[in-house]
Structure formats: structure tokens, C-alpha cells
Amino acid sequence: MSHTSTYAAKSNSSPLEPHSITRRSVRPKDVQISIEYCGVCHTDIHLVRNDWGMSNYPIVPGHEIVGKVTALGSEVDHLSLGQRVAVGCFVDSCRTCASCTADMEQYCLSGFTATYNSATEDPGGFTFGGYSKNIVVDQHFVLTIPKGLDPAGAAPLLCAGITTYSPLQHWGVKPGMKVGIIGLGGLGHMGVKFSHAMGAKTVMITTSQNKAADALRLGADEVLISTDPVAMQSKTGEFDFLLNTIPVPHDFNQYMPLLKVDGTMCIVGAVGPTAELNSGNLIFGRRSVAGSLVGGIKETQEMLDFCGKHNIVSEIEMIKISEINEAYERMIKSEVKYRFVIDMASLN
């Protein structure tokens, strides 16, 4: 076991501050990683502030981790010391249920072990995340970063990237399809990049006209302003697929008429209760509303390899760990384009 410097929150009302934890010793199938970069996800804020009533303190957030291998267990033979690797949103699952054996560990029927805030036998009793100098993870949950991909820009791919890639892949987005990405933020900007790279005609759907130029720069073919009823009406029945990345509860119904017959809108942003859904929009058009979580380990590696092939990374603003509390306030106000990444060299 080893002591490790981190930033942690001690309660739902306290700021993140320096804190020391103990990591488990490297077991035969473990990989020890020196963390170079950690992305900042809105989930971090929710859990630090106990918005979902499930936080365990002290809490060390961070599940968009990129770093280099510093130690290998005796049974790990596919990785090497100094290799750049990554860890995403979970670090264990039951490995035996129908979901796990189908490479969908994110839907583990026993519930996956999250990278932070999950019960564990490790020191401290709960997992501690990537706002940390290092981490020890079972080899199955360690991913490799393609050479040539910017490691800082790659960090948010482990959450924002796979959250948007997985549904686009699952619903078969390809050339000839028309795809709408709803909301241009940490998730939405990745959705635009992936949909464009998959060859679909990609439309950014946003309430904000001032995001239009950015959306086009990121790969959108056009921009649809959702607060313009005439513009929305003109696109009725045109979309094969909608990816809804809006992170707060809202009324889905306004977007449903945009879908073609048999079209699907997938929700990846808002978690929890929402406005009542008008079933008429489903019945008159055989439309579907679906949801999607991140991806399994196999699919996440496929996503990283896809990013390596197409040179896709997140648009980021690098910060020092000492700036994390200010970064949280800016995220709440949507004052970041489009993802904060912590340079972990700034953690002493």
C-alpha cells in the first residue's frame, strides 16, 4: 500500500482541498498508473455536492484519467512500463452476468464499481478517483491511448467521448443519415465530431444562435435554433436519429416531431424525472425515446482507436488542480469550451 496526494471534498458544503489517501498494493492482475491528466465531468460536481444523495466522504472525484504505467502485476503481459494508458468511469464489475459477458460492463446486473465513490475492499472502503497522483486498477479496465493522440485532449474521451460514441454506434449512424445533436456542451461537441466522422449529415440543435459558428467549426453541416418555431416546423420528419445531450431536466416533446418514422431520440444528458412525455409523438410515427450510458471496455477501446484514426480529441481548457473549485463554478455557468482537464503535474 502507498500514500497518495489527492484533492478531496470532506463534505457536501466544503471545497475540494489537498488530502492524502492510501492506494492498495499492486496485485497480480493490477496496473499502477501515474496520472498525467484528468478531465472534469459534471458528475464530479453532482457527487461532490451530494446532489444525488449517494456521496461518501471524503470523496476524490475524477473518471477521465490518462497517465503512464509505473508498475505491473505479475500476470499482466499486454502492457509495458511507461506506456500511456487510460481509465474511464468504472474499475470493476461482476464479470459473469449477461451484460458483462457481452462486453457491456456498464450495464452490469450487479452494478459496476465506479472509479470513485463505490464501495470497495481497498483502503478507505470506497474507490478514489483521478484527482490524484496515481491509481491502481485491474488490467481488464485499463485502456490504451493511440500514439499521436494528444493525451490531455484524450482524457474527456473516457466519459464525454464514449457517452456520445456508444449510442451513435449502437443506432448505426452512417453516411446517408441525418443526425441531430441537441445541446452544444461537453457531450454535444463530441457528438458533433463523431457524427461528422461517421459520415452523417450532422445538425447542431441549440437554443443559442451564438453557438452556431462553433458548431460549424466542430463539424456540423448546419445549425437549427430550437427556440425558432418556424425553423423547427420546417424540419419536421427529417431526422433519422437525435442525440439529446442537454444535462438538465427539460421537455423532450418539442424535439420528437423532428424524427422520421422509426426514428429514435436517445437521452444521454439528463438523468432522472423529466416532463411528461406525449405518447402521441411516439404512436404517430413509430418513434422511440431511448437512453444510453457510457460504453463497455471493448467499445471504449474501439472508440479510442476510432479517435486515433480520425484525430478526434475534446476541446479543452487546461487548469491546475488548485483551480478546481473555480472551474466547478464556471462549469455550472457553462463558461467552458468545452471540457476542463486538470494537469496533474500541478498536484504536489
We report the CATH number of the domain holding residue 177 as 3.40.50.720
Question: Do 8 and 69 fall within a single domain?
Answer: yes
128 burial level (CB within 10 Å; 0-12, 13-18, 19+): buried
Q: Within a domain: residue 124?
A: yes
**Cell triple for residue 303?**
472508440
Decide if 305 is inside a domain. Answer: no
One domain, residues 270 and 132: no
- Do 185 and 328 share a structural domain? no
Asked if residue 256 and residue 201 are part of one domain, the reply reads yes
**In terms of domains, do 106 and 224 share one?**
no
Q: Helix (H) and strand (E) counts for the chain?
A: 10, 17
Distance of CA 112 to the CA centre of its chain: 16
Q: Which regions in the chain score pLDDT beneath 70?
A: none
Q: How far apart are the first and last CA of the chain?
A: 19
Query: CB neighbours of 322 closer than 8 A, spacing ≥ 6?
Result: 346
| 128-150 pLDDT per residue, tens | 999 999 999 999 999 999 999 99
Say how far apart CA 178 and CA 326 lie, in whole Å.
Answer: 38
237 Ramachandran zone, left/alpha/beta (phi>0; psi -120 to 50): left
The verdict on residue 304 lying in a domain is no
CA atoms within 13 A of residue 112's CA, in its CB half-sphere: 22
Pair (15, 146) in one structural domain: yes
Whether residue 193 is found in the same domain as residue 130: no
- Residues 141 and 244 both lie in one domain: no
Domain span holding position 30: 2-158+315-346
- Report how far residue 87's alpha carbon sits from residue 293's, in angstroms, rounded to the nearest whole number: 16
In a domain, 228, yes or no: yes
Look at residue 296 and tell me if it is in a domain. Answer: no
CA distances (Å), 93 to each of 58, 79, 102, 107, 220, in order?
23, 21, 12, 9, 37
Same domain, 167 and 276: yes
Give 87-129 as a DSSP string.
E-SEEE--SSSHHHHTT-GGG-TT--EESSSSB-SSTTSB---
Q: Which amino acid is at 90?
A: F
In a domain, 298, yes or no: no
Assess contact for 271 and 208: CB atoms under 8 A: no
Residue 249's pLDDT is 84
Quote the pLDDT of residue 210. 85
The answer on 145 and 6 residing in a single domain is yes
**Would you say 338 and 315 are in contact if contact means Cβ atoms under 8 Å apart?**
yes
Number of domains comprising the chain: 2
Residue 40 falls inside a structural domain: yes
Residue 268: inside a domain: yes
Residue 272's pLDDT is 81
Averaged pLDDT score across all residues of the chain: 95
SS3 content of the chain, % helix, strand, coil (to 5): 30, 30, 45
Cell of 315: 476541446
The confidence score (pLDDT) of residue 208 equals 85
* CATH at residue 140: 3.90.180.10
